[in-house]
């Protein structure tokens, strides 16, 4: 598992490319990030997401994922409804050469109008260390700060989730605090790190060739 935890619908938690900022509520754009495509989840993604996101190594630091194809189908339907309501965005991560999503990046609003939002992400362990997630995450950051207009993007990651915390740090996130005993998983309360990326930080990175967003 790479990333932070986000509470969403069915136990899990979290078109043309050139669209206006408000159009994502009607249809989520397709984003191209190197050898990765980011698109809205489809019901046909459910079997692959079940296979990829329910393994122990992926699921141990996220809210419990659905345990069946039908559960993922309900989750996918929920993501569409929440996106249409303007409260939530979920991209499926589709590597080149594949048709189904092998992971997700989800963003939910914390304030009216998406000014402050929280994101979380998970991807199948066979794609860890391949650069797939980093490319996808950078593209989603650009979308959130430019098209959606988010000012501050937060993430929570279990202190023990070294891979997730490392991924956030590489993306330029700032570690702000430790939230003690804030995440219940498997009957145990875990400490979490809260991370943030602000729009002005992200814009500054765009002007630096070696910055995290490049």
Digit-coded pLDDT (tens) for 174-196:
999 999 999 988 888 999 999 99
Q: If you ran DSSP here, which 8-state letter would residue 147 be given?
A: I
Number of domains in the chain: 1
SS (H, E, C) 78-146: HHHHHHHCCCEEEEEEEECCCCCCCEEEEEEECCHHHCEEEEEEEECHHHCCCCHHHHHHHHHHHHHHH
Assess if residue 85 is contained within a domain.
yes
pLDDT for 72-90, tens place per residue?
Answer: 999 999 999 999 999 999 9
pLDDT for 120-143, tens place per residue?
Answer: 999 999 999 999 999 999 999 999
Assess if residue 111 is contained within a domain.
yes
Assess if residue 118 is contained within a domain.
yes
* Domain assignment of residue 131, given as a range: 21-151
Lowest-pLDDT choice from 21-30, 155-164, 184-193? 21-30
What pLDDT was estimated at residue 211?
A: 64
- pTM for this prediction: 0.87
In 10 A of CB 23, how many CB atoms?
A: 14
pLDDT band at 20 (very low <50, low <70, confident <90, very high): very low
What pLDDT was estimated at residue 150?
A: 97
Assess if residue 112 is contained within a domain.
yes
Assess if residue 158 is contained within a domain.
no
Q: What is the CATH number of the domain that holds 56?
A: 3.40.630.30
Assess if residue 60 is contained within a domain.
yes
If one compares 19 and 103, the residue with the highest pLDDT of the two is 103
Assess if residue 3 is contained within a domain.
no
């Amino acid at each position: 598992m790479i990333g932070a935890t986000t509470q969403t619908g069915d136990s899990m938690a979290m078109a043309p490319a050139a669209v206006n900022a408000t159009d994502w509520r009607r249809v989520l754009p397709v984003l191209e990030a190197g050898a990765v495509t980011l698109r809205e989840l489809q019901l046909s993604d459910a079997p692959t997401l079940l296979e990829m996101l329910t393994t122990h190594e992926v699921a141990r630091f996220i809210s419990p994922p659905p345990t069946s194809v039908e559960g993922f189908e309900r989750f996918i339907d929920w993501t569409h409804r929440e996106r249409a309501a303007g409260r939530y965005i979920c991209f499926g991560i589709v590597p080149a050469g594949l048709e189904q999503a092998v992971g997700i990046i989800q963003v939910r609003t914390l304030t009216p109008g998406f000014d402050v939002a929280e994101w979380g992400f998970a991807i199948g362990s066979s794609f860890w260390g391949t650069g797939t997630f980093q490319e996808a995450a950078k593209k989603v950051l650009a979308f959130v700060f430019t098209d959606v207009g988010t000012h501050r993007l937060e993430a929570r990651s279990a202190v023990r989730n070294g891979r997730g915390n490392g991924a956030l740090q590489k993306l330029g996130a700032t570690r702000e605090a430790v939230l003690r005993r804030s995440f219940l998983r498997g009957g145990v309360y875990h400490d979490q790190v809260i991370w943030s990326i602000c729009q002005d930080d992200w814009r500054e990175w765009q002007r630096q060739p070696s910055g995290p967003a490049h």
